[in-house]
A and B are shown apart, each in its own frame.
Chain A
Amino acid sequence: MSDTTQFRVMDFDCPTCASTVERALSNVDGVQHVEVHYATGRIEIEYDDGVAEPDTFAQTIENQGYTPQPA
């Protein structure tokens, strides 16, 4: 089943940083759609909940050097 989750990242310091996180998240297994908004810091992930876990997304965001917060 498809599910959606949101995160908020307050420390994006440039628009490219947002696109990097967007690419990284879309490479995670089970992720169907990702939107990362530089301006509001909002991240929306649509994923297959049989394959992916929201915790993995938080880890991925952190790996890119940004601090995810629950939205």
Chain B
Amino acid sequence: MNTQSITQYYRKHWKAIVTATSGLLYGGGWSLGYLTGFDTTGAAILVLATIVGGYDIAKTAYHEVTNRTLGIKTLVTLAAIGAIVIGEYWEAAAVVFLFSLGSYLEGRTMRKTRTALQELLEMTPDTATVRRDGELQEIPAREVEEGEVVVVKPGGKIPVDGDVVDGESAVNQAPVTGESAPVHKADGDEVYAGTVNQEGALEIRTTGAGSDTTLERIIRRVEEAQEAQSPTESLIDRFARYYTPGVIALAIGAYAITQNAILSLTLLVIGCPGALVIGPPVSIVSAIGNAARSGVLMKGGEHLERAGKIDLVAFDKTGTLTKGESTVADVEGFGVADDEVLSLAATAEKKSEHHLADAIVDTARERPTAATDGGATIAQADDTDASLQSIPDPDDFDVVAGKGVIAHTDGHEVVVGNRALLDDRDIDVPSRIADYVREHEKRGETVVHVIRDGDIIGAIALRDELREAAPGVVAALQDAGIETVMLTGDNERTAAAVAEEVGIDDYRAELLPEDKQSTIEELQTDGHVVAMVGDGINDAPSLATADVGIAMGAAGTDTAIETADMALMADDLERIPYAVKLSKATRWNVLENVGLAVLTVTVLLAGVLTSYVTLAAGMLVHEASVLAVILNGMRLLRY
């Protein structure tokens, strides 16, 4: 080992070296004093131990004083000097050694909490292979420009955010979304920096590089969240501001009255409410870090503490409990052919962006093609699949929000909509049709009526499959003592059928978008702490109203990441029980830490004032309590 590497080694480990040296000297001095009587040599070694261990503490204390902050290092320095002045060398060395050891261990454990996120950042590769001027070049990943095509080999890490333009592969997105199963990616699919390309080569058109990637944004948000003070933390900080000066005043007062120097110095040692100040941030940082690694973004301690009190979770139905992809389950013509009903409805719905409209139009397109219009098929542009039927445009088209559409085509008025739209237009529903509708709604399907020139000519039943995970998620929340409610715009019967299928406690049906928000308010007025789970865009108002808004599938949508109190990066419902339980565990963890800290301070104060606890013992208990709360908080990293 040359001089330079020794210096480097020392710089890296100086806290450990200083602590160990002071510990050895302390042990040596104490043994010497114990074995040979308390002679001058023993005392000298103990003073040396104090100086070795205390030099850095005193240096920082000096800075604390010149910067006019009152920290524990100032208090420890005063106590150690005081102890030497009154001849309590053993106490002085012990206090300094225990403090060094304690803060060394604290620094080490805190580092683990602080580096939990760094591992995520290291997921992004430093270089990227880009196609420039027709050839492949390896350049720093940060210098890839938007629109450039990056080539990623099988097994390679994806260096940028972008869209796949060539190739097909399975990509492990765990660093971003927390999903352990790889996701299939092909032309047009979005991929994220830091994820791993597992199978085939991919060419990716860059949409973001460097600090402008989803992963970087997540990490920034997580850090901001960890740094934001929770209500408990601010309360404790305010308390700490008075506690330390208070204890010093007490130390001076106690000395003035009792002339007991040891008592006053011991008060100084315990004058920093260490465990109390350190506990809550460690719990919260660990919890937020753990959540981030599982693909759950939490907005900060305040939200986490509130989430710990959730007793009711409201789910939006479509796209949250269900897959959000409706398919046509059945078409029924009343006096006309089924096919005619479907094609008429498709024409009317062609310009609509509603998810039910998409399902109807797609189904109409995929019908077996009548073999008569071959000429037209050949003439079509090559991006249209020849096996698909073409749907004519309507002459005009109007949306009635929450009810349906009204269109004109071929000289007919075509209305496609729900019961409310029929009522609006005073259209009578024959009992045969009403029976059909009732029967399908009881199966959890949504039925739309098709009306031509004022007569009902048919009905279409649509089905939105439940997510496989939904019943399990609802059951897991119920097991945790949390009520579950489903909110939906569907009619009563469909809602009841879906609610039963998923096993949810309660449901609210026939809600317009703004009704969802007022439903949340009602639940809150009933005394519930409400979490709302939705998609983060359409449900944004109700997510904002809820005590805790949980957005699903947030990886691609920055607004959801910015606004939701919790954002599930993956479209994975199963993270919800985890997130809710983690919040509850965090709330308990914070309470445990505060409880332990208050207990420690009370016992120490009582012990000191009754002279049962002196310098070294006080320091030992103080440091032990700090380590205990850090270790307790860190349990949340592995929750």
- Asked if B167 is at the interface (CB within 8 A of a chain A CB), the reply is no
- Contact A13–B67 (Cβ < 8 Å): no
- Asked if B470 is at the interface (CB within 8 A of a chain A CB), the reply is no
* CB-defined contacts of A35 to chain B, threshold 8 Å: 227
- Contact B72–A63 (Cβ < 8 Å): no
* CB-defined contacts of B107 to chain A, threshold 8 Å: 10-13
Q: Given A10-B111, A65-B56, does the pair A20, B274 have CB atoms closer than 8 Å?
A: no
- Asked if B245 is at the interface (CB within 8 A of a chain A CB), the reply is no
- Contact B277–A13 (Cβ < 8 Å): no
Q: Given A10-B115, A12-B107, does the pair A40, B274 have CB atoms closer than 8 Å?
A: no
- Contact B59–A65 (Cβ < 8 Å): yes
* CB-defined contacts of A42 to chain B, threshold 8 Å: 223, 227
* CB-defined contacts of A30 to chain B, threshold 8 Å: none
- Asked if B272 is at the interface (CB within 8 A of a chain A CB), the reply is yes
Give Cα A39–Cα B59 distance, bound, in whole angstroms.
23
B-side interface residues, number (CB < 8 Å): 35
Q: Given A11-B15, A14-B103, A15-B281, does the pair A24, B63 have CB atoms closer than 8 Å?
A: yes
- Asked if B412 is at the interface (CB within 8 A of a chain A CB), the reply is no
A41 nearest CB across to chain B (Å): 5
- Contact A23–B69 (Cβ < 8 Å): yes
* CB-defined contacts of A52 to chain B, threshold 8 Å: none
Per-residue contact bits, chain B 53-91, to A (CB 8 Å; 1 contact, 0 not) = 000100110011001111111000000000000000000
- Asked if B114 is at the interface (CB within 8 A of a chain A CB), the reply is yes
Give Cα A12–Cα B72 distance, bound, in whole angstroms.
13
- Asked if A64 is at the interface (CB within 8 A of a chain B CB), the reply is yes
Chain B binding site: helix, strand, loop or mixed by DSSP?
A: helix
A64 nearest CB across to chain B (Å): 5
* CB-defined contacts of B104 to chain A, threshold 8 Å: 13
Q: Given A13-B107, A14-B103, A14-B106, does the pair A41, B114 have CB atoms closer than 8 Å?
A: yes
Interface hits, B280-316 → A, CB 8 Å: 281-282, 284-285
B280 nearest CB across to chain A (Å): 10
Per-residue contact bits, chain B 115-134, to A (CB 8 Å; 1 contact, 0 not) = 10100000000000000000
* CB-defined contacts of A16 to chain B, threshold 8 Å: 64, 69-73, 272, 277
- Contact B281–A65 (Cβ < 8 Å): no
Give Cα A27–Cα B307 distance, bound, in whole angstroms.
39
Chain A binding site: helix, strand, loop or mixed by DSSP?
A: loop
- Contact B60–A64 (Cβ < 8 Å): yes
Cross-interface CB contact of B282 among A10, A39, A67, cutoff 8 Å: A39
- Contact A65–B60 (Cβ < 8 Å): yes
Interface hits, A31-58 → B, CB 8 Å: 35, 37-42
- Contact B285–A17 (Cβ < 8 Å): no
- Contact A19–B69 (Cβ < 8 Å): yes
Give Cα A8–Cα B59 distance, bound, in whole angstroms.
21
- Contact B60–A40 (Cβ < 8 Å): no
Per-residue contact bits, chain B 248-263, to A (CB 8 Å; 1 contact, 0 not) = 0000000000000000
Cross-interface CB contact of B64 among A11, A20, A27, cutoff 8 Å: A20
* CB-defined contacts of B63 to chain A, threshold 8 Å: 20, 24, 63-65
Cross-interface CB contact of A24 among B67, B113, B117, cutoff 8 Å: B67
- Asked if B50 is at the interface (CB within 8 A of a chain A CB), the reply is no
Q: Given A14-B277, A64-B63, does the pair A20, B114 have CB atoms closer than 8 Å?
A: no
- Contact B103–A13 (Cβ < 8 Å): yes
* CB-defined contacts of B111 to chain A, threshold 8 Å: 10-11
- Contact B64–A39 (Cβ < 8 Å): no
- Contact B110–A13 (Cβ < 8 Å): yes
Give Cα A15–Cα B272 distance, bound, in whole angstroms.
10
- Contact A15–B278 (Cβ < 8 Å): yes
**Identity of the chain A residue whose Cβ is nearest the Cβ of B289 in the assembled complex:** A40
Q: Given A17-B60, A23-B67, A24-B63, does the pair A39, B115 have CB atoms closer than 8 Å?
A: no
**Residues of B that sit less than 8 Å from A by CB:** 11, 15, 56, 59-60, 63-64, 67-73, 103-104, 106-107, 110-111, 113-115, 117, 223, 226-227, 272, 274, 277-278, 281-282, 284-285
Which 6 A-B pairs give the minimum distances between C-beta atoms? A16-B71, A23-B67, A13-B103, A39-B281, A37-B227, A65-B60
Known: A10-B115, A63-B63, A65-B56. 11 other contacts (CB 8 A): A8-B114, A12-B107, A13-B107, A14-B278, A17-B73, A19-B69, A27-B67, A39-B282, A40-B223, A40-B285, A65-B59
